[in-house]
């Protein structure tokens, strides 16, 4: 088939849609991606790209069509709003010539914002071809976790718009089972909904044979550092453990809250035990994971995040390392079900501290059993091969 993929984010930005497209290509499909100018997470357009320079037109056999857009900036609701709006507007304009090309399917990778799906709906409706949206961030609920909107009239309008977009698709793939009840209550027909969790790229399963330089007990967080991720919960737990110099807290990533986290580390005088590594490519994670004794996942205590399963959970399980989690709802349930780690509720820094100390006091064999349980759960539920086969069945 010839598949048009619409995603506001794509290579060289690091999102799972890159691997989805490669998987579809490997299965023999022709894939073309409509996307924007790369600017995540720095908020600045990447070097080599601009309004007049759209970068490479192909990535590993996948055709790329880029539209101009306003970069998201950092810590600016206005810039973020313009970023969201500009992709919808200019992406829709860019999609008009695509109405004269042949496609068999339209597939949307929907993180924030939901408006990124509008260009896809235009093509699907005009050309009368099957359309699919893969929901990573459920809207408008995710929007409310980013921006405080209390006006009921505005909330009703946003709900109507989001429901209209979701209802426009033939099938809705949901990354978390928790989304199902919410969408059904909003009138989405159950037959349209398909549970399709995220997989972890194969390289996360690669254990690198690296020896530690010392006997430090390293616990690692890797990923976006934004408000939703509640990385301050980790720093507060590290503060409780600051007298234990053997426990090293490693934070890998960047995002809107990075400077606040850096400031918090300074306020607590944690420079000896907390290491802020900064952003690293996903392909470098096996090295960091191999040197870690445990991997941390945290989220804020908000309703929408309680029905979310963060993609890093799959990546951590694939690495075969024990998970330390301060997370509620779906993520909490999955980690407990896997028996792959120690879990407390979202934002419970004392619970995270206690679980870290408990894991620290375990022997190597006990920790290995936790990691093995997580890996086995991953192999049963989240492998790329199994989920890619499922995706092809859905598209067919």
* Boundaries of every domain in the chain: 2-196, 202-381
**Which residues face 5 on adjacent strands?**
33, 107
Candidate from 120-134, 306-320, 349-363 with smallest mean pLDDT: 306-320
The average pLDDT across 153-176 equals: 91
CB neighbourhood size of 164 (10 A): 10
Q: How far apart are CA 95 and CA 102, in angstroms?
A: 13
Q: Which tokens belong to 101?
A: 């090309």
What is the per-residue pLDDT across 262-295, written as a single tens digit (0 to 9) for each?
A: 999 999 999 999 999 988 888 888 899 989 999 9
**94-148 tens-digit pLDDT:** 999 999 999 999 999 999 899 999 999 999 999 999 999 999 888 888 887 777 7
In the CATH scheme, what is the homologous superfamily, with its name and number, of domain 2-196?
A: Glycogen Phosphorylase B; (3.40.50.2000)
Read off the DSSP letter of residue 284.
Answer: G
Are residues 270 and 237 in contact, defined by beta-carbon separation less than 8 angstroms?
no
Is 34 strand, coil or helix? strand
| Measured distance CA(303)–CA(278) in Å, rounded | 29
Least confident of 138-152, 172-186, 375-389: 138-152
Which CATH architecture group holds 202-381? 3-Layer(aba) Sandwich (3.40)
Q: Do domains 2-196 and 202-381 have the same CATH topology?
A: yes
Look at residue 207 in the predicted model and tell me its pLDDT.
67
In the DSSP assignment, the letter for residue 81 is H
pLDDT for 67-101, tens place per residue? 999 998 877 888 988 999 999 999 999 999 999 99
Q: Chain-wide mean pLDDT for the chain?
A: 91
Distance CA 262, CA 249 (A): 13
pLDDT exceeds cutoff 90 at 228: no
């Amino acid at each position: 088939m010839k598949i048009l993929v619409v995603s506001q984010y794509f290579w060289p930005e690091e999102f799972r849609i890159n691997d989805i497209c490669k998987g579809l290509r490997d299965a023999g499909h022709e894939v073309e991606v409509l996307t924007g100018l790369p600017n995540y997470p720095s908020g600045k357009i990447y070097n080599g790209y601009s309004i007049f320079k759209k970068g490479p037109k192909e990535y590993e056999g996948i055709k790329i069509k880029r539209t101009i857009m306003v970069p998201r900036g950092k810590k600016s609701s206005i810039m973020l709003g313009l970023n969201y709006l500009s992709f919808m507007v200019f992406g829709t304009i860019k999609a008009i010539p695509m109405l004269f090309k042949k496609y068999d399917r339209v597939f949307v990778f929907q993180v924030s914002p939901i408006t990124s799906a509008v260009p896809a709906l235009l093509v699907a409706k005009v050309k009368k071809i099957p359309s699919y949206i893969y929901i990573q961030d459920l809207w408008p609920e995710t929007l409310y976790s980013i921006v405080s909107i209390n006006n009921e009239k505005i909330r009703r309008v946003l709900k109507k718009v989001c429901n209209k977009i979701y209802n426009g698709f033939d099938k809705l793939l949901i990354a978390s089972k928790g989304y199902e009840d919410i969408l059904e209550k909003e009138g989405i027909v159950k037959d349209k909904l398909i549970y399709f969790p995220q997989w972890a790229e194969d390289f996360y399963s690669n254990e690198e044979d690296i020896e530690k330089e010392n006997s430090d007990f390293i616990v690692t967080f890797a990923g976006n550092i934004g408000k939703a991720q509640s990385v301050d919960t980790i720093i507060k737990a590290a503060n409780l453990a600051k007298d234990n110099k053997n426990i090293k807290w490693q934070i890998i990533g960047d995002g809107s809250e990075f400077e606040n986290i850096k400031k918090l580390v300074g306020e607590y005088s944690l420079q000896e035990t907390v290491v802020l590594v900064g952003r690293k490519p996903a392909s470098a994670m096996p090295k960091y994971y191999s040197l870690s004794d445990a991997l941390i996942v945290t989220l804020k205590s908000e309703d929408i995040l309680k029905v979310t399963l963060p993609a890093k959970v799959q990546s951590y399980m694939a690495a075969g390392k024990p998970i330390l989690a301060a997370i509620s709802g779906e993520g909490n349930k999955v980690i407990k079900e896997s028996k792959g780690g120690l879990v407390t509720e979202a934002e419970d820094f004392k619970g995270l501290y206690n679980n870290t100390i408990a894991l620290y006091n375990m022997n190597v064999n006990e920790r290995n059993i936790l990691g093995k349980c997580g890996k086995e759960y991953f192999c049963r539920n989240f492998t790329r091969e199994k989920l890619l086969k499922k995706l092809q069945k859905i598209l067919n």
